[in-house]
Amino acid sequence: MKKITYYALCIFTSLTVLSSCSENYSNGERIGVITQFSETGLIWKSWEGHLNVTQTGMNSSVPFDFSIDNDQPDEKIIKTLDSAAQYGWKVKLVYHETAGKNWFKNRGETSHFITKVEVLEKNFGNAFNGNSQQKNIGRVIDTIYVVITPDNPDYKKFFK
């Protein structure tokens, strides 16, 4: 009976390890502003981040959490993401998603691993830096859009 239990435990462990984090379930890209990027973890340190996805210039309510793969860390990606989070740059993240559960979290907290970062706009939403030659003196966390239409009866009162 002990032998059967031992073999069953070995088979279960092998299946769990092999199926827990299979590579390349899907590929994709997301565009937005990094709102959080930090190194976390007690045993395995990993870089984790949060992207506010933008759609046609406005923030979406759909967050995107991502990790930097501990098996293949890229210092250039880490530095670019850190700067993007600090200065509010609009970026495009290219990622691959793994299937299954990352049980041990040894690669990262999420199943979305960044493979490439492209900075799209450095002055995105930055009302304090209209000229790229000026030094950054602040940053805007969120944007609000106001649309004034001629159909509004108050339009003529404001614009005579």
Tens digit of each residue's pLDDT (9 = 90 or more) over 107-123: 888 989 999 999 998 87
CATH class of 2-124: mainly beta
Count of Cβ atoms closer than 10 Å to residue 23 Cβ: 12
Predicted TM-score (pTM) of this structure = 0.64
CA distance 93 to 78: 12
Tens digit of each residue's pLDDT (9 = 90 or more) over 34-91: 999 999 988 888 999 999 988 766 666 778 999 998 878 889 999 999 999 999 899 9
Domain residue spans of the chain = 2-124
